[in-house]
Structure 1
């Protein structure tokens, strides 16, 4: 549930940022804003609809597959979600500083040409991107779970927390700054991606697709049990395992080495 709340919170804040930038530009330009507001909210609705269709597609694909194919599908989705999280973090590090300028530039171009449908699709793509990421991340983290009601409440709680967080961020850094928000959530997202990676790799090891090599490499459950309290939190958010297989540890370590190197390269650029 903690994963669901965090994912919905983080992605909702980013979606609110995108919509907020475009909304503020339209409010500051009344001539364009009179026509543009309807297309702005139409784009938000279309983006949410596209995200919902993706969610239904994933659920439909899962239900159509036979048992063996479902096993592979549920093993693949956490790996896909982990890869998308890393891609998102890298993209934000490269483009975060120019995001506002690029969004406003695209909006100004569409408004000057009275291309209101272009504005609608600009907003729809921006919202659909955040919504699609949320759908994939959620599916990758909760695939196979039967706690639908609890997960829905966690998602609602995450969205409400996002509304509060966005309002605090809009106060200009008085309580919390955008720089701090992105730095902290970047770390948490990478930790979560590592946990999803471990989940997918464990699934593949259990299916016999990947060799365990040595299983378990150690057993630290007596000191920190991954099924309770702090151990469970670390397992859900950082991929901690009290009795890991050697191959799992190698892949998880390789993930952190490769991700750290990639982010350093991006920062130098």
Structure 2
């Protein structure tokens, strides 16, 4: 429950922040009449995310067991790639995202003859990226979790993100975006390592990957995955009570490389700003 909650909270706040920056800039520049086009773009982006997520879930439900394992492995690998790129991309552009959105807005409203269409497309692509990132991650988590806890966590995270986004827009809340992205990004990388290990296991069960299957140790008697603590660790960090060379190797290799890259100095994006906190006002 905690993993989908935090991911949905992070992605939701990022999306809300984007919309808030756009809305605030339109208001400050006397172009508030364009807000309906902004909401159309947001609605289309949300609809696309729901359509993709729902479609993939319905299609996978019809697969035979081995094909379901293959689907789970492929979705997990995609989620790891998307999550990793999202963490490092946002780490790079966090300080300049406000300026970049302002420039994109000005280009959409002054550099195009079809201003409404250009604005809708600009908002759509900005928000759809966050939505599709979330879809692939949640698909990977839901496939590796049982019961209603994961969907409930995602809904609670989305609800809180909407509240936080509204408070940021109204100026009632100032968010230290740098610290928020740093700590949630670190958590995401640890979660992604677990998803990668589970994806390798799913590919093995699908008959695609059959190398390095020696079991390194077996904690199933003392800390089983279906026990209270084991299920929590499995849901949060991809814990396996009898890991193989391939699953544990994938976990540790990814985590080592990702953490080294994460703690290196972040590259500075062009036109970077340096605020320690973010408000859309």
Question: Shared fold by TM > 0.5?
Answer: yes
Cα deviation for residue 268 of structure 1 reads 5.1
Which residue does 1:91 correspond to in 2? 89
1:105–1:113: structure 2 CA closer, same or farther, 3 Å change rule? same
SS at match of 2:74: helix
SS at match of 1:162: helix
Between structures 1 and 2, the one with greater helix share:
1
Which residue does 1:55 correspond to in 2? 53
1:173–1:47: structure 2 CA closer, same or farther, 3 Å change rule? same
Aligned residue runs from structure 1 range 88-167, under 5 A: 88-113=86-111, 115-143=115-143, 147=147, 149-166=148-165
Q: Give the length in aligned residue pairs.
A: 265
Cα deviation for residue 66 of structure 1 reads 4.2
SS at match of 2:242: coil
Which residue does 1:25 correspond to in 2? 25
- Bigger Cα displacement from structure 2, 170-179 vs 257-266: 170-179
Cα deviation for residue 10 of structure 1 reads 1.6
1:205–1:66: structure 2 CA closer, same or farther, 3 Å change rule? closer
Cα deviation for residue 9 of structure 1 reads 1.6
Counterpart Cα distance in 1 of 2:26 and 2:8:
27
Are the aligned partners of 1:202 and 1:248 in contact in 2 as well (CA < 8 Å)?
Answer: yes
Question: Residues 31-61 of structure 1: CA distance to partner in whole angstroms, max 9, x if unpaired?
Answer: x222x11101111111111112212331243
- Bigger Cα displacement from structure 2, 13-22 vs 150-159: 150-159
Cα deviation for residue 22 of structure 1 reads 0.3
Structure 1 residue 16 corresponds to structure 2 residue 22: no
Counterpart Cα distance in 2 of 1:144 and 1:93:
28
Q: CA RMSD in A?
A: 2.7
Which residue does 2:242 correspond to in 1? 243
Aligned residue runs from structure 1 range 170-209, under 5 A: 176-208=175-207, 209=209
Counterpart Cα distance in 2 of 1:100 and 1:186:
19
Counterpart Cα distance in 2 of 1:119 and 1:230:
48
1:93–1:175: structure 2 CA closer, same or farther, 3 Å change rule? closer
Cα deviation for residue 14 of structure 1 reads 0.9
Are the aligned partners of 2:49 and 2:131 in contact in 1 as well (CA < 8 Å)?
Answer: yes
The higher-RCO structure (CA 8 Å, 6+ apart) is 2
1:179–1:173: structure 2 CA closer, same or farther, 3 Å change rule? farther
TM value normalised by structure 1: 0.86
1:169–1:190: structure 2 CA closer, same or farther, 3 Å change rule? farther
Unaligned runs of 5+ in 2: 269-281
Structure 1 residue 5 corresponds to structure 2 residue 5: yes
Structure 1 residue 253 corresponds to structure 2 residue 243: no
Which residue does 2:233 correspond to in 1? 234
1:234–1:52: structure 2 CA closer, same or farther, 3 Å change rule? same
1:145–1:40: structure 2 CA closer, same or farther, 3 Å change rule? same
SS at match of 1:97: coil
- Bigger Cα displacement from structure 2, 156-165 vs 134-143: 156-165
